[in-house]
Structure 1
């Protein structure tokens, strides 16, 4: 038992009811994704144009005709399917996150719900912000750099003939990578609030975190030094923000733990 202001449903729920509730949340998530996929497939050509726009603008700026090619009969069809899946996953993410919250929330105290709600709202916002940064900032810089290697007038011209599948793979990978990277402050701040990580520990192992940022950037970013440095710099910046946030919430976490220990009925 706990204070009236921090109640939890103490009624034990049978395993079958837990499984039934999990089933309901999974159904909501899957149905949402399927509906989003159907709508996104209908608008797949427009979504494709949106994803291809950064490359088209970069090509036009250098006087080249913006076009992507495909070399297999089925490639164009699967391109639209892939675009629809990508957009559906991106759009349905907040709903899936909400379903996870609705499954977990009944087992939390009111104080714990209040503490977690900011993280619940911040997660989709930061995910979309990361994707927007990749699209509006990173892509124009990276594509301009890659296109600079095209040459003409020599003994052998070097011209870009980008494939639809290759281009979309790297675009979708980077948008998701940037989106997930922006979840780093949410993750570390949450871990700091519950006492799993501390500001002192993160500061102590900062140099190793920096090395990890470059390793992750090497895996997630295109295989060129400028792109990887930009990605690593972003991760380091997010890590430093996480340090600041962990330092802010850490005293509150310690205070909450002390209050819990003083409340014998909470145990």
Structure 2
């Protein structure tokens, strides 16, 4: 084995060690936030906040149910863990940034940090939009179609699965501007080509909404329309971003 091979192996091991340390720090941050939230305000209180959009549409005096033996304990714990991850997300993304930053050029660093910050804010905005607008609208819409002979009593675990799916769908949907900017920046495509594909994006948005959301027009509309609007915002932002080829040309000129 040559000195060069030994040096490459040492470098690879050092990267693995750093990756392990960054992941450990991120996990510790999530666990620390989880412990704080579990102690105060408590897992039950956090779940009550998450369940509020559903409870507001149920008949007076009606509560949600738990069909499993340990479900009343595990579901609030899962919700608290989800909240801990969301609150610790800026620190987690900082660890990711600190790991990849040394391998980036200066012009790439100038773009990467704003992308990390904007992607975090957009994902959280998607979750907030889902909680404050979508849930309230969809649950009220569904409640109006419930027959008078039926008393809705949603299961808390099924509700959690639904909520997490919707949070993920809307969080990723709000990342569309970041995806558009990255496609243009990396030279995969151009703003002109993306603008020409606008019609396909609109159709794809409604197809995706039909697959991800519940089978009602309201929730599909509330996902598809923001996706199309955010796609347009991504096109606007991408016009101010130079592609990788442009950056390479400028570097060669220097």
TM-based fold match above 0.5: yes
Aligned partner of 1:8 in structure 2 is: none
Post-superposition offset of 1:36: 2.5
Aligned partner of 2:159 in structure 1 is: 167
CA deviation vs aligned residue, 1:79-98 (integer Å, no higher than 9, x gap): 12221222122222222211
Paired residue for 1:22, among 19, 27, 41? Answer: 19
Q: Tell me if 1:131 matches 2:130.
A: no
CA deviation vs aligned residue, 1:4-39 (integer Å, no higher than 9, x gap): xxxxxxx98711111111111111112122222323
Aligned partner of 2:142 in structure 1 is: 146
Q: Which runs of 5+ in 1 are unaligned?
A: 1-10
Normalised by the length of structure 1, the TM-score is: 0.84
Post-superposition offset of 1:145: 0.4
SS for the counterpart of 1:133 is helix
Map 1:1-267 to 2 at 5 A.
Answer: 14-42=11-39, 43-59=42-58, 63-152=59-148, 157-250=149-242, 255-263=246-254
Q: Which runs of 5+ in 2 are unaligned?
A: 1-6
Asked whether the equivalents of residues 62 and 153 of structure 2 are also in contact (C-alpha less than 8 Å), the reply is no
CA deviation vs aligned residue, 1:191-214 (integer Å, no higher than 9, x gap): 212322211121222222222212
Whole-angstrom distance in 1 between the partners of 2:161 and 2:61: 21
Normalised by the length of structure 2, the TM-score is: 0.88
CA deviation vs aligned residue, 1:148-205 (integer Å, no higher than 9, x gap): 12232xxxx1221111111122122212221121111112112212322211121222
